[in-house]
Each structure stands twice: as C-alpha cells, then as structure tokens.
Amino acid sequence: MPALRRSLRAGRRQIGRSARRLAAAAVARKLSTLPAFQRASRVAGYWPADGEIDPLPALARAFVAGKACYLPVLCPQRDGHLHFAPWWPGAPLRRNRFGIAEPLVPRREWLAPRMLDLVLLPLVGFDMAGNRLGMGGGYYDRSFAFLRPGCWHRPRLVGVAFDRQRVEGLPRRAWDVPLDAVITERHRHLFGLL
C-alpha cells in the first residue's frame, strides 16, 4: 500500500489549479442532488491539504441551504480520534499539529461524529466496492468505527475525490469503515442507501 499511496498522492498534486476549481464545483453540484445531502441538517467536510479535492464549495452550498457545517478537529482527550467543530465561510481557523486548518471555536461547540448526518471524507484512493485508501493515520476509521454493519446508520460517509483516484481494488481490513458513496468531478458512485 505505501507505493500505491505515494503514487496516488503524487498524481492528485499534479492537477492544475483551474482543473481543481472546476472539479470542486462539479463535485458540489453532484453532491447537492443526493437525497442524503438534501435531508441532512449537519454536514461535515474537511480542509483540503496535499492536493485533496476541495470540499469547501460543497460546504458553502450546504451553509447557504441552512445546514450546519463542520470541519474535523483533533480530539485531545482521545488521541487518534476526530470531533467536528462548526464552520461557516470566513470562520476563524488555526493550524493543528499537522498544519491543517481547524475552526477556532470553544470545545463545548464540538460535535461527536455520531451527531452528524453526512460527512465528506478526503481520500487518497477508492474502489468500486466502497473501500477507501486514506493517508494512513486511521483517524476516520477510528472516529467512525461505530458505523460497522448492524451497529449504527448515521452519518452517511461520502468520499470526494478526483476521478483519477479510482483504483481496481483495495483490501478491506477489519477496522476499515466503508463509504456509502464517492463523488468525483465525473461520476456519482453509490454503494449504500443514500
């Protein structure tokens, strides 16, 4: 997996600025037609880094539609886990220990992952079985472990990516949490009930 991860990360970093903007806008349009997006009251995304597709246009659409929007924050009480802090266009941000922007709001305003309706996840690669290759830290898998089959049904997890991040197949380990969908600039891949 390390070689595949390096190759996919390098590929997404090579995408030009104009193509990135167009892809992010296309993803936002496709996402807004999903029933899970339309029904959601609380939508979480992420701050893009390392060539990831930008989910902020999709979050801006959610915000304009009256939905509460959130970005992940590292949880100091549970290392390796995420909570989600309120975000709005122009919200004050700070950098975490990885240099990724997080909303600068009091901890009492953070939500646990179970409180969300829809989460947009970054990814390095994905396959057509809903498997996600992340950066390797396991933050999302640990934070959403309660979603394993038969345990919990919300939030819906939607990966957002460039079409070129699709791979033939990825192994699914016991701790991997599968995606309900992946939205790219070209396609909507649906794997679960949305």
Report the binding-site residues.
52, 132-140
Q: Compute the distance between CA of residue 8 and CA of residue 102 in angstroms, rounded to an integer.
A: 25
Q: In what order do the strands lie in the sheet with 118-121?
A: 82-87, 68-74, 42-44, 118-121, 156-160, 181-183, 188-190
Tell me how far CA of residue 161 lies from CA of 87, 115, 117, 188, in angstroms: 21, 24, 20, 11
Residues tagged in the binding site annotation for ATP: 132-140
